[in-house]
Amino acid sequence: MRRHQNKDFEPFYLDTRDRVFRTILVIVRDRSLAEDAFSEAYTRALAQWSTLARHPAPAAWVVKTALNYLRSTQRTAARTATQEIPEVPASDDPPTDPELVRQLLALPERQREIVALRVVLGLDTDRTAELLDIAPSTVKTHLSRALSRLEDNLTEIAAEEAWR
């Protein structure tokens, strides 16, 4: 019976793995930590799949589990200072502009988390707020500030390149 339940897990994993990994990677900014958290979260998801399959947003549950795992190990603070652009696994999505990734990684942590959850993972405001334990209005405020900052920085870079 358990093998049958796990069989239903595979389509979920295949459908969500790229988005979930990119979401974790954008938030954490460290490929090694993201891989650890990703693996741990999906391992826990598989172990709880009979219950998790009925969850309204199982991909969000996986991301939250990954972030909780990282926080509980207290390794994030020491290793998220890298400014390198992490390699993102190949997917069917169009390639991401490296400058956009640099600017995204330069955002403050909360803004980066919200952009990753709202834009990369595609969660709505309420689900993002629930995942981060903040008010929906806080999500909206941080998203607005982050998008404004990204727009300003990318516009400035484009203007500088135009003068070269």
Please, where are the H alpha helices in the chain? 2-7, 9-28, 31-47, 49-52, 58-73, 76-79, 98-105, 109-115, 125-132, 136-162
Tokens of 71: 């926080």
Task: Count other C-beta atoms under 10 Å from residue 104's C-beta.
Answer: 23
The CATH-assigned architecture of domain 1-84 is Orthogonal Bundle (1.10)
The answer on pLDDT for 88 being more than 70 is no
Q: What local confidence, expressed as pLDDT, does residue 1 receive?
A: 40
> Mean pLDDT throughout 52-63?
93
Domain 95-164 adopts which CATH fold? Answer: Arc Repressor Mutant, subunit A (1.10.10)
Report if pTM > 0.85: no
- As a whole-number percent, the residues of the chain with pLDDT over 70 amount to 81
Q: Is residue 101 very low, low, confident or very high in pLDDT (cuts 50, 70, 90)? A: confident
First-to-last CA distance in the chain? 65
Cβ neighbours of 4 (radius 10 Å): 7
The rounded distance, in Å, linking the Cα atoms of 17 and 123 is 15
pLDDT in tens, 5-33: 577 899 999 999 999 999 999 998 889 99
Dihedral angle over CA of 51, 54, 59, 65, nearest 10: -30
Question: Residue 93 — very low, low, confident or very high, per pLDDT cuts 50/70/90?
Answer: low
Contact between residue 95 and residue 55 where contact means Cβ atoms under 8 Å apart: no
- Domain boundaries of the chain, sorted by first residue: 1-84, 95-164
User: 28-32, 93-97, 108-112, 143-147 — which is least confidently predicted?
Assistant: 93-97
What does the block give as tokens for 35?
A: 């891989």
Candidates 96, 108, 119; CA nearest to 149 is 108
- Asked whether the domain spanning 95-164 has the same topology as the one spanning 1-84, the reply is no
Average pLDDT, the chain: 83
Closest CA to 66 of 85, 100, 43: 43
